[in-house]
Amino acid sequence: MKARWDIFCSVVDNYGDIGVTWRLARQLVVEHGCDVRLWVDDLRAFERMCPDIDVQVGQQWQEGVQVRHWPAEWPGAHPADVVIAAFACQLPPEYMDRMAERERAPLWMNLDYLSAEDWVVGCHRLPSVKYKGVQKYFFFPGFRPGTGGLLREAGLLERRQAFQQDDVAQQQFLQSLGVAPTVGARLMSLFAYENDGLAGWLDVLAADGRGTHLLVPEGRILGDVQRWLGVNSLSAGDIQVRGALTVQVIAFVRQEQYDQLLWCCEFNAVRGEDSFVRAQWAGRPLLWHIYRQDEDIHLDKLDAFLELYTAALSPAAKAAVVTLWQAWNADGDMAQSWKMLLEHWPEVSQHAQNWCLEQGLQADLATALVQFYESWI
């Protein structure tokens, strides 16, 4: 009898948390034959990346996953064999009581935030608190051996490589989004939180000797783009040209389409956790806008990743990447830091491919979770 899994997702970052749990749920079903319920407290946010979701329905099936609305008043449900609280969300008290009443307690895990910090390896899979005798465990995604790894579907890197080598497939995909790339321009994507440093970056792109075609999925950064352009509104399909910079707004797309968008672009600015990981699998240079946390502890996470990510770069290229990322996340000088990065573009571009292949050698997150459950029972 296959194991039943419950994954709980409380939507905080609009798309990052639901993006991770939705990918995980589908992979557990497709590749590991698990019976998965995904509990989501905000179906509206979920609908953006899965348009087939009916936000009025409390229980539905999507791509083999039983999607359940997680309302403020718990509807009642039998606990599964494996219970995942994504990103330290608090499970319903009634559900936790039922967990304790099971003849065999479930495996209860807190699937934590992704981090490259050194301490993660030492805490991965450690027992946490108990609730009425039910033990909870820490489970940390990560970039190093000894962590839970990253979400990566079987064959993903092979599909990506084939797509990037197929000019016709890329052209057809971009056409489906209404995108006709500017001839000779660098194709880039921008998905970020609000950022005061954006104007300086767009200024230098507009003044560049080479054109840039910037694709902006609808999202929180759109207001900053609109102000820089000096227009009253922006929506999907709009195209604005300023100097060497073409800005095109595209609709929010499904995860599989977003992957292909990242694969098409020469450079990707991403945010949060889900798009951050997917940009790394694209094998292209990237810029991460990390989710801000109190007391700037997010900057420690940023620096930890940069230390790991840039370890194989030359000192000058490393300095260029670090300077750009720190400027983007701390309202620094994006114009000068972007120029620095361009000076090292061939090395940075090759490094992105190498990093992707290196990370692809590790076990993926879904497999690591299943292996932990199998060893636990």
Q: Which two tokens stand for residue 213?
A: 């075609």
For the chain, the residue count is: 377
Reduced to 3 states (helix: H, G, I; strand: E, B; else coil), residue 3 is coil
Helix boundaries (H) for the chain: 16-32, 43-49, 93-101, 119-123, 156-164, 167-176, 198-206, 222-229, 255-264, 274-281, 297-309, 315-329, 334-343, 345-359, 365-376
Take residue 84 and report the two structure tokens written for it: 């995942």
* Cα–Cα distance for residue pair 191/193, rounded to 1 Å: 7
Q: What three-state secondary structure class fits 51?
A: coil
Active-site position among 17, 35, 224, 259:
17
Of 224, 273, 274, 364, which residue is the catalytic one? 273
Q: Let me know: does 150 contact 143? Beta carbons within 8 Å.
A: yes
273 given a catalytic annotation: yes
Which of these, 189, 198, 251, lies nearest to 226 by C-alpha position? 198
Is 112 in contact with 143 (CB distance < 8 Å)? no
What is the token pair recorded at 29? 């079903």
Q: How far apart are CA 320 and CA 285, in angstroms?
A: 12
Long-range contacts of 268-272 (CB under 8 A, 24+ apart): 268/188, 268/189, 268/191, 269/188, 269/189, 269/190, 269/191, 269/192, 269/328, 270/189, 270/191, 270/192, 271/16, 271/191, 271/192, 271/193, 272/13, 272/15, 272/16, 272/19
- Catalytic residue numbers read 17, 273
